[in-house]
């Protein structure tokens, strides 16, 4: 109890510092707590909270680029001074289109164009026209972005694309809803000419191609969430209930299966994220919690030996977060909303992002951000956390009134960027605990 009071007091002190020294920053929702994590800055992003984020630099300036749930478009946030984050540019997106997924490399932003879902309270309605695919933007000058081109799926009434991967170069790797398929599939798009992107190849789990005569999936969660990273000729895919898929794309027109690994046999969203530690030949793999109040199977964050990509071998699992003493609940299952893993510091292809080492960062929805020491691949243990306070406003009612920490990116300076989805803004944190070399 006394330790929790100390952390909470430190948190309140930090808020006072922010309010006194960073006039451009917003005040974060009250009631947040932390251990071995310092809150430096916060912005509600002019009432447009970000969902997924990416990072870039221009000269000596650092920028977070965020996609939104509740408004079509993207915000550019100057985070050069972490105590004073400020939105410096809003880029409008196509009308009635969700634009919440982003990635960036070679100064090109790849942003998803997605069916909006039921978001009538935000002025977005899936029954009205929208765009489905991706848009490419030149972000060499983040304050002067220029659209380069768009690629639209062959299913104009489909879901569009989800969390895509662009690590630079000629090819973009998509999780796309295509005509005649059940769920998202893997599509490679050639952007050698960004004004006229073209499909270069595709792959799917057998059973998805219903228009091709394959048996329809019994499991609606066999759907590609996102391509995670490319290592040489191999691409790693988070394929929902189909597990983790590794493909050989030495011939992009004909991807070939290398391996497919499941971690929980009954999980609706078995693999959501895969983050590599290439030096140690390890993978950090997690599911996604997709239900409220812990209704459903066990979620997991698993450390995987990837010395042989044809035979990935699970080694151990991260511990489940436990609330600190003194809170009105003893389990995050009783807190309300979702509890379970979601995203990691996974943009490892981005040169401005901290490379995976002995610290692992995982968002756990209502349990906030959890930081782990993974120096022992058989025994990960929690060494820090940040738990946001309750949302002060519902920017999107269908999102719910709950704490939902969504995405995390850590830059090479050590600053941690954490989003609260549709209900909270961008938090800027710093881990202050010990690090094993």
pLDDT in tens, 257-295: 999 999 988 788 999 999 999 999 999 999 999 889 898
> How many whole angstroms separate alpha carbon 169 and alpha carbon 388?
37
State residue 21's pLDDT score: 34
Assign 218 to helix, strand or coil. coil
Let me know if 113 is exposed, middle or buried by CB neighbors in 10 A (0-12, 13-18, 19+). buried
> Phi/psi of residue 150, each to 5°?
-135, 150
State residue 199's pLDDT score: 98
Question: Buried b / exposed e across 248-258, counting CB within 10 Å, b at 16+?
Answer: bbeebeebeeb
Structure tokens, 13: 């002190």
Superfamily of domain 2-431: YVTN repeat-like/Quinoprotein amine dehydrogenase (2.130.10.10)
> How many whole angstroms separate alpha carbon 149 and alpha carbon 377?
43
Residues of the chain with pLDDT under 50: 1-23
Residues sharing a CB contact under 8 Å with residue 127, sequence separation 6 or more, in sequence order: none
């Amino acid at each position: 109890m006394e330790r929790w009071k100390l952390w909470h007091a430190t948190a309140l002190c930090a808020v006072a510092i922010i309010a006194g020294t960073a006039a451009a920053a917003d005040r974060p929702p009250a009631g947040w707590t932390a251990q071995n994590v310092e809150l430096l800055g916060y912005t509600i992003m002019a009432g447009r909270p970000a969902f997924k984020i990416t990072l870039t630099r221009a000269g000596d300036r650092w920028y977070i680029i965020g996609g939104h749930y509740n408004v079509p478009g993207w915000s550019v946030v100057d985070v050069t001074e972490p105590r004073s984050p400020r939105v410096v540019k809003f880029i409008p997106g196509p009308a009635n289109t969700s634009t919440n997924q982003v990635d960036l490399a070679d100064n090109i932003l790849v942003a998803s164009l997605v069916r909006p879902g039921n978001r009538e309270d935000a002025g977005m309605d899936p029954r009205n026209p929208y765009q489905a695919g991706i848009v490419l933007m030149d972000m060499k000058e983040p304050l002067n972005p220029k659209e380069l081109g768009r690629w639209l799926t062959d299913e104009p009434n489909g879901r569009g694309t989800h969390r895509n991967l662009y690590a630079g170069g000629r090819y973009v790797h998509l999780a796309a809803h295509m005509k005649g398929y059940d769920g998202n599939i893997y599509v490679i798009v050639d952007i050698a000419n960004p004004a006229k992107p073209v499909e270069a190849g595709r792959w799917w789990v057998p059973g998805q191609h219903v228009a091709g005569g394959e048996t329809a999936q019994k499991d609606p969660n066999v759907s590609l969430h996102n391509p995670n990273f490319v290592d040489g000729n191999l691409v790693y895919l988070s394929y929902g209930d189909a597990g983790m898929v590794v493909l050989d794309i030495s011939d992009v027109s004909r991807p070939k299966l290398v391996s497919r690994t499941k971690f929980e046999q009954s999980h609706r969203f078995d693999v959501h994220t895969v983050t590599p530690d290439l030096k140690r030949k390890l993978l950090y793999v997690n599911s996604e919690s997709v239900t409220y109040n812990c209704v459903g199977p066990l979620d997991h964050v698993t450390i995987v030996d990837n010395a042989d990509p044809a035979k990935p071998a699970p080694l151990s699992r991260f511990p489940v977060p436990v609330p600190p003493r003194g809170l009105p609940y003893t389990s995050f299952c009783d807190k309300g909303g979702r509890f379970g893993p979601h995203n990691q510091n996974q943009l490892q292809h981005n040169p401005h992002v901290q490379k995976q080492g002995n610290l692992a960062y995982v968002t756990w929805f209502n349990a906030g951000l959890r930081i782990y020491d993974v120096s022992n691949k058989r025994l990960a243990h929690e060494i820090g956390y940040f738990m946001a306070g309750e949302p002060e406003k519902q920017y999107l009612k269908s999102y719910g009134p709950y704490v939902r920490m969504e995405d995390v990116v850590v830059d090479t300076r050590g600053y941690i960027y954490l989003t609260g989805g549709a209900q909270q803004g961008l938090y800027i944190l710093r881990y202050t605990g010990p690090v094993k070399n």
